[in-house]
């Protein structure tokens, strides 16, 4: 359930797998396309049930510590099945289009009365374009409005085939300079911007999103360049500013990965409001999300 990813109350379907590696990514479990084991040490009651059922001997539990040897772990899921404290969970599961459609159908009353629907996000849902197309067609056939949240870092054909079925796109612009974009995400922004222009030319509504990361992409020059680009998009609905948060740290901890932006400070609200006013000075509708 989400109210920040398109109009109305929406069901959010999150795909695993992403072509980018943004340094500020708050959902590290979305980067790999495979299921992963998350371990929350703060929830562990040291009962040892997980270690007892692990066929690889990958879990070490003592009175004071607990850890998973990820080099040995095969993500079989047996540990999560017996963890009554829910300290161990499996992130990601394989589902068919039919299973997803049945799950979404449970929420249709909320969609109907709020003008909402489904938003497909990730990771990057368009990394598996055939599956996503089949899913979107099935949802539309079932009377569900569909929006897609994308990085745009995918082949144009993956986007083009969805255009007859999608009501809007949520689309990130992380930095306007292609070299700086590559430093921050692992890829240039050239394909992203080219695809974005092509979608706008075809008239599909676009909600442009700018993550605001202090010292990385929050300079007035970059925001102004983004706004200048944005006002050339004929189907643009609004520009959403997404200030930095640190809610992803616990996710990194649960995957035994270092948190890459621990030293970044939150953006003061007056600064966010100044950036919002800067975007609006280009004649654009702007909104702060989060």
Residue 77: predicted pLDDT: 95
Question: What is the tens place of the pLDDT at every residue in 229-277?
Answer: 999 999 999 999 999 999 999 999 999 999 999 999 999 999 999 999 9
pLDDT of residue 234: 97
For the chain, list the strands marked E by DSSP.
10-14, 36-39, 59-61, 66-68, 88-91, 117-121, 146-150, 168-172, 206-212, 236-243, 286-288
Q: In the prediction, which pLDDT does 136 show?
A: 98
Assess whether the region 10-32+93-288 and the region 36-91 belong to the same CATH fold. no
pTM over 0.85: yes
Domain boundaries, the chain: 10-32+93-288, 36-91
CATH 3.40.50.300 fits 36-91, yes or no: no
Which pLDDT tens digit goes with each residue over 2-30? 888 899 999 999 999 999 999 999 999 99
Sequence-distant (≥ 6) Cβ neighbours of residue 110 within 8 angstroms: 1, 9, 116
Amino acid 63: pLDDT: 80
At the fourth CATH level, which superfamily is domain 10-32+93-288? Aldolase class I (3.20.20.70)
Which residues of the chain fall short of a pLDDT of 70?
none
Establish how many alpha carbons lie within 13 A of residue 40's alpha carbon, considering only the half-sphere containing its beta carbon.
Answer: 15
- Position of tokens 């909320």? 110
Cβ-based burial of 188 (10 A; exposed 0-12, middle 13-18, buried ≥19): middle
User: Residue 4's pLDDT is what?
Assistant: 85
Residue with tokens 């003061």: 268
Q: Please give the pLDDT value at position 42.
A: 92
Return mean pLDDT, the chain: 96
């Amino acid at each position: 359930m989400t109210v920040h990813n398109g109009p109305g109350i929406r069901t959010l379907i999150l795909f695993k797998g992403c072509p980018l590696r943004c340094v500020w990514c708050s959902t590290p479990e979305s980067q790999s396309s495979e299921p992963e084991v998350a371990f929350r040490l703060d929830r562990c009651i040291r009962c040892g049930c997980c270690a007892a059922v692990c066929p690889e001997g990958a879990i070490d539990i003592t009175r004071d510590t607990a850890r998973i040897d990820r080099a040995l772990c095969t993500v079989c899921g047996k540990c999560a099945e017996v963890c009554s404290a829910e300290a161990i969970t499996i992130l990601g599961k394989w589902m068919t289009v039919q299973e997803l459609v049945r799950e979404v159908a449970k929420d249709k009353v909320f969609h109907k009365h709020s003008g909402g629907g489904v938003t497909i996000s990730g990771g990057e849902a368009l990394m598996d374009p055939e599956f996503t197309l089949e899913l979107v067609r099935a949802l539309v056939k079932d009377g569900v409005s569909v929006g897609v949240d994308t990085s745009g870092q995918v082949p144009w054909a993956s986007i083009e085939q969805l255009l007859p079925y999608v009501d809007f796109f949520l689309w990130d612009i992380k930095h306007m300079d292609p070299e700086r974009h590559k430093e921050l995400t692992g890829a240039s922004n050239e394909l992203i911007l080219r695809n974005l222009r092509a979608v706008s030319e075809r008239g599909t509504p676009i909600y442009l999103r700018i993550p605001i990361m202090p010292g990385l992409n929050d300079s007035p020059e970059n925001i102004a360049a983004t706004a200048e680009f944005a006002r050339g998009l004929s189907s643009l609905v609004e520009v959403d500013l997404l200030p930095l948060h640190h809610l992803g740290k616990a996710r990194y901890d649960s995957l035994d990965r270092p948190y890459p932006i621990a030293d970044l400070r939150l953006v003061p609200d007056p600064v966010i409001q100044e950036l919002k006013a800067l975007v609006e000075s280009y004649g654009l509708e702007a909104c702060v999300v989060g």
